[in-house]
Amino acid sequence: MKQIDVCLTPDLLHQYELKNKIVVVVDILRATSCMVSGMANGVKEIVPVATLEECKDLQDLGYLAAAERNGSKADGFDMGNSPFEYMEEKVKGKKVAVTTTNGTLAIHKSLAAKEILIGAFLNLKAVSEYLKNKEEDVIVLCAGWKGKFNLEDTLFAGALCHHLRGVFEFACDAPLAAEAMYLIAKNDMMKYMQDSSHAKRLAKLNVVKDIEFCIQESIYDIIPYLSGKSLLGKK
């Protein structure tokens, strides 16, 4: 049977063999939720970059530049890291360059994989259906917070494992634990999210609305995937 595994933070990625596998990168608050929202609302292409400087360079080439540092929009950029900014009229048909604290790093660390997909609660069903129809083993890579474990990415990993149970074998204890977490949290996701340290940080920045948006399951059917240095969308 195909296997699914969960890497709880990018700091543990050295333990995983990525070759010939599909990696699903998740950074629920808020990088991958933004990517999915943007693609679902007409963004043509998203280029994840590691530094503010690279992001600025692409801005000079005509990209919309999105940058968040420690939860807030960085100075001189077109967009921050709220999914609602990725749904505005001005983004339609545009290319967006984005740098985030954790999500971009997770994508860059996954380049040895056969395929890199962007996952979020927003496109959960689309991702799980896509994976069911593929031959490859899967690793869900939680972007975490500065290398540390975080709750919301683990809950997504658990949701995906739960949807794939029976079709994929759980490779170790992390999928089991993540699924158990998801099953206890799913009926009151907002409460669990509000308890999480990351949500507490964000709550200080008045982004409860963002969080409520990001925990909606399967409202979009688009899957961003890495092609060269860009994320494109497939359905």
Q: Using the minimum distance from each CB to a second copy, give the nearer residue, 88 or 188.
A: 188
Q: In the window 137-156, what residues touch a second copy (CB under 8 A)?
A: 145-151, 154
Which of helix, strand or coil describes residue 77?
coil
30 binds a second copy (CB under 8 A): no
15 binds a second copy (CB under 8 A): yes
State which of residues 52, 177, 205, 219 lies at the interface with a second copy (CB under 8 A).
177
Q: Using the minimum distance from each CB to a second copy, give the nearer residue, 108 or 201.
A: 201
Give the residue from 25, 153, 151, 154 showing the smallest Cα distance to 98: 25
Q: Are 136 and 20 in contact (CB under 8 A)?
A: yes
42-78 exposure pattern, b = at least 16 Cβ within 10 A, e = fewer: ebebbbbbeebebbbebbeeebbbbbbeebebbeebb
Q: How far is the CB of 120 from a second copy (least distance, A)?
A: 18
Q: Using the minimum distance from each CB to a second copy, give the nearer residue, 10 or 80.
A: 10
Q: Are 7 and 15 in contact (CB under 8 A)?
A: yes
Q: Using the minimum distance from each CB to a second copy, give the nearer residue, 205 or 232.
A: 205
203 binds a second copy (CB under 8 A): no
Strands 138-142 and 72-73: unpaired
70 binds a second copy (CB under 8 A): no
12 binds a second copy (CB under 8 A): yes
CA dihedral over 204, 207, 212, 214, signed as positive or negative: negative
State which of residues 9, 81, 99, 104 lies at the interface with a second copy (CB under 8 A).
9
Strand ranges, E, within 81-201: 95-99, 115-119, 138-142, 168-170
* Total residues found in the chain within this entry: 235
State which of residues 67, 96, 120, 185 lies at the interface with a second copy (CB under 8 A).
185
CA distance 137 to 22: 6
123 binds a second copy (CB under 8 A): no
Q: Using the minimum distance from each CB to a second copy, give the nearer residue, 88 or 173.
A: 173
Q: Which residues bind a second copy (CB under 8 A)?
A: 8-9, 11-12, 14-15, 145-151, 154, 172-174, 176-177, 180-181, 184-185, 195-198
